[in-house]
Amino acid sequence: MLIDLHSHSDQSDGSLTPEALVDHAVTAGVRILALTDHDTTAGHRRFRARAETTGLTPICGVEVSCTWEHGNCHLLGLGVRDDFEPLEDALREIRGGRNRRNEKIIAKLNALGYPVTLAEVEAIAGGEVVARPHVARVLEARGLVANYQEAFTKLLAKGGPAYADRFRLEPEAAVALVTAAGGKAVLAHPSQLKLDDAGVRALAARLQPHGLWGLEVYYTGVTGDKIASYGKIAADLGLRVCMGSDFHGTAKPHVKIGHYSPDKPLPGPCPPELLP
């Protein structure tokens, strides 16, 4: 039985609808799946409804964007309510920051000679979260870059010529909101923080008093030595070991649902506190 606590639908930057995501997971042998779209809970109801028809155990979550000066700091909220207004208000503010940033990115791309429009990006996004991956998909579809990855490495990555920053929550605030919304707060893909092991340990310890519950130890791209070191950090701090593919569908075709590499399934068991 496969477990995956980190996946995305087309309600943020994944390519599959919440229903198709459930179907894909079941076909792949996943029996417990968390939907963790970026900064939105919009897909929860559809995700739950489809899961009920298949026997898959659904965990409704969210991936919250946090302020961070180095790489990316993302917080998973597993099992959050989607009617907790303080969290929903914060997510709306984050999405508003994305929208303002999108306007800046489009303006920069136009000035660089890439004739894309915000309307094109919003159309390809479809959901309420419109983000850089959607810009990359437009650039690729228009033949303005060789592929999706080139759009990031050449233009959209942090520090790139078309990059623009946006509003995010402080990590402590994100952990506290997720916890108040009835969820379990998990520090996602710690290697993306661009910290050494001591730095990851220090950040996790800093967030624990605010409610940090787990550390994502297994995820796509993590290496064996990092699995060992992140596992030790989790054990030393008393955090739950969590596992997720960060599946996005065609946006990240190398990511296989239920796996942290194409031939390595995510290990169990699922932390029992997440199960109904």
- How do residues 56-96 score in pLDDT, each as one tens digit? 999 999 999 999 988 899 999 999 999 999 999 999 999 99
Range with lowest mean pLDDT among 121-135, 198-212, 239-253: 121-135
- Which contacts of 94-98 are long-range, i.e. CB under 8 A and separated by 24 or more positions? 94/39, 94/64, 94/65, 94/166, 94/167, 94/168, 94/169, 95/39, 95/40, 95/128, 95/129, 96/167, 97/166, 97/167, 97/168, 98/39, 98/129, 98/130, 98/131, 98/166
Mean pLDDT over each residue of the chain, to the nearest integer: 96
Angle, helix 224-237 to helix 197-207, in steps of 10 degrees: 30
**2-90+181-274 carries CATH number 3.40.50.300:** no
- pLDDT over threshold 90, residue 126: no
Higher pLDDT, 129 or 8: 8
Buried b (16+ CB within 10 A) or exposed e, 82-110: bebeebbebbeebbebbeebbeebbebbe
- pLDDT over threshold 80, residue 125: yes
**Residue 71 confidence (pLDDT):** 80
Residues paired with 61 in a beta bridge:
78
- pLDDT over threshold 90, residue 186: yes
Spell out the domain ranges in the chain. 2-90+181-274
Q: Is 11 within 8 Å of 4 (Cβ atoms)?
A: no
Q: Which pLDDT tens digit goes with each residue over 37-60?
A: 999 999 999 999 999 999 999 999
- Kind and range of the H or E run holding 66: strand 57-66
- Which tokens belong to 67? 């302020």
Q: Which pLDDT tens digit goes with each residue over 188-239?
A: 999 999 999 999 999 999 999 999 999 999 999 999 999 999 999 999 999 9
Say which residues have a Cβ less than 8 Å from residue 263's Cβ, sequence separation at least 6: none
Q: How far apart are CA 29 and CA 15, in angstroms?
A: 19
**Residue 158 confidence (pLDDT):** 86
- pLDDT over threshold 90, residue 270: yes
**Residue 258 confidence (pLDDT):** 98
Q: How far apart are CA 101 and CA 85, in angstroms?
A: 24
**Distance between start and end Cα atoms, the chain:** 17
Which pLDDT band holds residue 4 (cuts at 50, 70, 90)?
A: very high
φ, ψ at 65 (rounded to 5°): -80, 130
The average pLDDT across 128-137 equals 90
Angle, helix 85-111 to helix 171-180, in steps of 10 degrees: 140
Whether the full predicted model's pTM is greater than 0.75, yes or no, is yes
**Residue 241 confidence (pLDDT):** 98
Q: Is 266 within 8 Å of 4 (Cβ atoms)?
A: yes
* Of the candidates 275, 272, 203, 192, the residue with the CA atom closest to the CA atom of residue 234: 203
**Residue 198 confidence (pLDDT):** 98
Residues paired with 38 in a beta bridge:
63
